[in-house]
Amino acid sequence: MSTFKAPKGTFDLIPPFSATYLAVRDAISAPLRKSGYGYVETPGFEDVNLFARGVGESTDIVTKEMYTLTTKGGSHLALRPEGTASVLRAALEANMHKAGGLPVKLWYSGSYYRYERPQKGRYRHFSQVGAEAIGAEDPALDAELIILADQAYRSLGLREFRILLNSLGDKECRPVYREALQTFLRGLDLDEETLRRAEINPLRVLDDKRESVQKQLVGAPLLKDYLCEECKAYHEEVRALITAAGVAFEDDPKLVRGLDYYTRTTFEFVHDGLGSQSAVGGGGRYDGLSEMIGGPALPSVGWALGVDRTVLALEAEGIELDIPAATSVFAVPLGDEARKVLFGLVTRLRKEGVATDFSFGAKGLKAHMKSANRSGARFAIVAGERDLAEGVVQLKDMESGEQTAVALDELVETVKARLA
Ligand code: ATP
Ligand code: MG
């Protein structure tokens, strides 16, 4: 062990566990990649004001959870706590919304940082895969994203998750509701901070996790009773499209989510095997965000799924992903001459696309074969001086133990044929 440890609230991904992470990222992004979403990658840090404005001044993320820094040049930056604001910023900066047809559909995968109290499923460095569809107001787009996330989770074998769905209304109907809710909240017995929140962003009080608060919210007015005709029709169409796709969901009239920028469709994926960190992903429509960060009006919708919690959900359901061994062939040289010949064969096999590894270092046959076993390879190629003198190598089937001599110049083709 070295003097140093991974910082509090973080952990390293190392083999073999890290392979699960790669597979989960791959599974979540696969439906997006096949549905017209292009890959976007943005910096790990941004101007702090992008998040202050984009995520919202009164949110926990901005007030408590952001890692901020001032550079030697005097710039105020923040490690990115979420992806949407950055992706929208990047799309606007590149004028993607002017370049072709709308929506601009993008997906991303990366590290995010929040200064939180570390616990199971809640870390200071975590991993998300996300999708954003920018510049179109179309209920089919909201439905598409929900269906693709559902498909991603199902492709991993997950079953015990639920989709919670709500509409937050728009700039016509939300203010009316906001006022009604505020009047209601002012009459409750709330602590000072919560009362302040009720003045700045009363909807977020609905998201309060404390039971003492939730108990008082039982009779709170619900947004669904205040939705304007347009929002109601929009929401009904989203619901109908998801239902027609065979995706089950639950209406959750209190679902608001922690970010300020959401309008209309909001949803969350929750998993019942995860205890209090039950949200595995979430998203929604953010029609006003572009204007909030200085862009034109671009109604958009997106989601982000947490990779860490998705991995925990797999564990909770006892699902082991079928991850094939990374190595197909493992070469074991016995002696110096064999090292040269086999190393050459390894390079040729690799060029031919066969996943091949080599037993490095001077060691005895037993230790070499142990490495071969550990690699998970289907075949081992073993050769000593006598084999080389006869112009052959031994091809060993690691499953059956059966060993056959193969001529050196036929090895590549033989291996490829037997792996096929
Ligand atoms: P929570 O209510 O649990 O704090 P959130 O609403 O802050 O979640 P989002 O901002 O919607 O989460 O992020 C989307 C997903 O990213 C979450 O559903 C979760 O899976 C994951 N996530 C968010 N924060 C963390 C974290 N600190 N550690 C691990 N995963 C996280
Ligand atoms: Mg949070």
CATH number at residue 95: 3.30.930.10
61 CA from centroid of ligand 2 (Å): 7
Is 207 touching ligand 1 by the criterion CB < 6 Å? Answer: no
In this prediction, what percent of the chain has a pLDDT beyond 70?
A: 99
Q: Are the CB atoms for 109 and 75 separated by under 8 Å?
A: no
Letter for the amino acid at 291? E
What are the structure tokens assigned to 232, written together?
């109601």
Predicted confidence at residue 100, as pLDDT, reads: 79
State whether 93 and 239 are in the same domain. Answer: yes
* Atom 24 in ligand 1: residue holding the nearest Cα: 122
Q: Quick check: CB of 304 below 6 Å from ligand 1?
A: yes
Stretch among 3-17, 149-163, 212-226, 249-263 having the lowest mean pLDDT: 249-263
Q: How confident is the model at residue 258 (pLDDT cuts 50, 70, 90)?
A: low
Is the predicted pLDDT of residue 89 greater than 70, yes or no? yes
Which ligand has the minimum distance to the alpha carbon of residue 64?
2
pLDDT in tens, 360-381: 998 889 999 999 999 999 999 9
**pLDDT at position 260, please?**
64
The residues, any chain, with a CB within 8 Å of residue 160's CB and separated by 6 or more, are 271, 272, 273, 313, 316, 317
CA distance linking residue 125 with residue 123, whole number of Å: 5
Report which of residues 256 and 131 the model is more confident about: 131
The model's pLDDT over 228-239, given as tens digits with 9 standing for 90+, comes to 999 999 999 999
Provide the β-strand partners of residue 302: 132, 284
Q: Which atom of ligand 1 is nearest to the CA of 257?
A: 6
Report how far ligand 2's centroid is from the alpha carbon of 373 (Å). 43
The residue whose CA is least distant from atom 5 of ligand 1 is 258
CA of 27 to the centre of ligand 2 (A): 24
CATH number assigned to the domain comprising residue 354: 3.40.50.800
Q: From the CB of residue 235, how many other CB atoms can be counted at a distance below 10 Å?
A: 22
- 265-317 pLDDT, tens digit each: 999 999 999 988 999 999 999 999 999 999 999 999 999 999 999 999 999 99
Q: Same domain for 162 and 285?
A: yes
Strand-pair category, 161-167 with 250-251: parallel
249, part of any domain: yes
Please give the residue range of the domain that contains residue 336: 329-419
- Whether 28 lines ligand 1, by a CB cut-off of 6 Å, is no
User: For the chain, how many structural domains are there in total?
Assistant: 2
Least confident span in 110-119, 251-260, 396-405: 251-260
Q: Ligand 1 pocket, 123 CB below 6 A?
A: yes
Considering only CA atoms, which residue is closest to atom 17 of ligand 1? 281
Domain boundary among 268, 291, 316: 316
Q: Are residues 140 and 65 in the same domain?
A: yes
Identify the residue whose C-alpha is closest to ligand 1 atom 8.
Answer: 279
- Asked if residue 333 and residue 312 are part of one domain, the reply reads no
Q: Are residues 244 and 275 in the same domain?
A: yes
What ligand 1 atom has the least distance to the C-alpha of 207?
2
Mean confidence (pLDDT) of the chain: 95
What is the side-by-side strand order in the sheet with 356-358?
A: 356-358, 329-333, 379-383, 392-397, 403-407
Q: Return the best residue to mutate from 112, 209, 307 for the ligand 1 pocket (most ligand atoms within 8 A of CB).
A: 112
Same domain membership, residue 302 and residue 237: yes
Place of tokens 């190393």: 343
* CA of 149, nearest ligand number: 1
Is the model's pLDDT at 259 over the cut of 80? no
Protein residue closest via CA to atom 26 of ligand 1: 122
Query: Is there a single domain that holds both residue 333 and residue 398?
Result: yes
Interval 28-76: pLDDT, tens: 999 999 999 999 999 999 999 999 998 888 788 998 999 999 999 999 9
Q: Is the pLDDT of residue 404 over 80?
A: yes
Cα 131 to ligand 1 centre (Å)? 15
Q: Which atom belonging to ligand 1 lies closest to the Cα atom of 82?
A: 10
Rounded mean pLDDT of 325-352? Answer: 96
- On whether residue 184 sits in a domain, the answer given is no
My answer on whether 87 and 135 are in the same domain is: yes
Co-location of 263 and 404 in the same domain: no
Query: Does the beta carbon of 274 lie inside 6 Å of ligand 1?
Result: no
CA of 60 to the centre of ligand 2 (A): 7
To the question of pTM greater than 0.85 for the whole model, the response is yes
